[in-house]
Chain A
Amino acid sequence: MSSKARSSQETAARVKALESMLIEKGLMTTEMVDRLVEIYETEVGPQLGAKVVAKAWTDPDFKARLLKDATEACKEVGISGLQGEDMVVLEDTDDVHHAIVCTLCSCYPWPVLGLPPNWYKEPQYRSRIVREPRKVLAEEFGYQIPEEKEIRIWDSSSEMRYWVLPQRPAGTEGLTEDQLAELVTRDSMIGVGPVKGAS
């Protein structure tokens, strides 16, 4: 294959060339591309995971089911699918903070978080988060985890897809489930950032 990195023009031309061949073979259409893009730009994204987190914060029975079998619990609220066929939710506590990575490729729970951000797929995050997690979270994400709290990194090497149930921030007792969902960030479900309103 190619021996050096392509320019963006070369990559675009290569993709278009391959796409033209796959179209002629009847394997893909531009409508198929458009539909997939529509799904992952507008339908499947971290707003879905946020909804599940908010429900877990307000419904202890649902939370228990979510921690026992995240795949089945998510199906209750209509969330399932590709790259989340077997999901596990990791509950942050006063003692343990969780974060996810895929050091070998880019595994990520698509049905609840959408497609991963580029930094998650790039070698820099993947190499360092297992080696010096506290430093990476503090220096790269501005997220301080106190030393007395264990940091547990989940390397997604199999088809299990992990994601984080962050702690509900104090002072949110009066909020509705929808209002709570607004506080849940993508990064808080990866484990690299806080929920809004949390320290």
Chain B
Amino acid sequence: MNGVFDVGGTDGLGPIDPPENEPVFRAEWEKAAFAMFPACFRAGYFGLDSFRHGIEQMRPSVYLESPYYEHWLHSVEHHGIANGEIDPEELDRRTQFYLENPDAPLPEHEPNPELIEFVNAVVPAGAPAQRPTDKPARFKVGDIVRMVNVSPFGHSRMARYIRGKVATVVAYRGSFIFPDSAGNGRGEDPQHVYTIQFDGAELWGEEYAEPNTSTTFDVWDPYIELVREAEGAHA
């Protein structure tokens, strides 16, 4: 989808102002919102791509102005309500209750060693997205390629600032879950992934690009089309 989350190259969003230091979590609620991701991932509420798509569907002004972990909150809510696990009216009722009683405790509950074991296992093991595929890899390092210029609905990683632009394939990465499929609930459909490199002038125009700069972007096989093969490919 063409959404505000796709900010690459947007002007006028203001200064970055990186602080000298800041805590990993700035508020208690950020800790709980962070933990909801692995908890609900484990429960099958979403995969990583669907989780991102939940964030992408936030109201644009809220997306741009809310603290980061509110994005996560939004996606967990979005998927919990969509899969019927979270009753939105009950969520609203409880929100009102905690707003009026911010120090009211959470429901009493027993520790669950399984959840701790899950955390201790998944943090170092990760959740790899590499998947085998029988499809041939259509491109190789050195090929000159063009990013397809289309505007798909739903989840995609086709950033607008590179669409239609020409780049060089600089690396082949293996085959991975395809976000344009998995993020839209259509299965993993693994695709080959390449890193392609754009000259700054190709992205922004000679007149506006900073000299001697480039940007790389990772693309799945269907994202690119061949302009010309690597030199010497037929030698």
Contact = CB atoms under 8 A, between A and B. Distances in A.
A153 B213 CA distance: 8
B125 A29 contact: no
B203 A33 contact: no
A17 B91 contact: yes
A63 interface: no
B226 interface: no
Interface residues of B, number: 108
A72 to B, nearest CB: 13
| Chain B contact surface mostly | mixed
B235 interface: no
B67 A23 contact: no
A84 B125 CA distance: 9
Interface residues of A, number: 90
A197 interface: no
Given A31-B115, A126-B7, A153-B213, A4 B61 contact: yes
A12 B28 contact: yes
Interface string B104-118: 001101111001100
Given A15-B29, A160-B193, A35 B119 contact: yes
Interface string B1-43: 0000111111101111111001111111101111110111011
B31 A37 contact: yes
Contacts of A82: 122-123, 125-127
Interface in A152-173: 152-160
A44 B112 CA distance: 23
Contact of A127 (B13, B55, B212): B13
Interface in B32-86: 32-36, 38-40, 42-43, 48, 52, 55, 57-59, 61-62, 64-68, 70, 73-74, 76-78, 80, 85-86
B79 to A, nearest CB: 11
Contacts of B125: 80-82
Interface in A3-40: 3-6, 8-33, 35-37, 39-40
A158 B15 contact: no
A153 B120 CA distance: 33
B90 to A, nearest CB: 7
Contact of B43 (A2, A27, A37): A27
Nearest to B85: A25
26 contacts: A5-B66, A11-B29, A13-B95, A15-B33, A15-B73, A18-B77, A19-B106, A25-B85, A28-B115, A40-B34, A84-B126, A86-B130, A103-B9, A117-B18, A121-B68, A123-B7, A124-B14, A127-B10, A130-B9, A130-B161, A131-B9, A131-B204, A141-B18, A152-B213, A155-B159, A157-B217
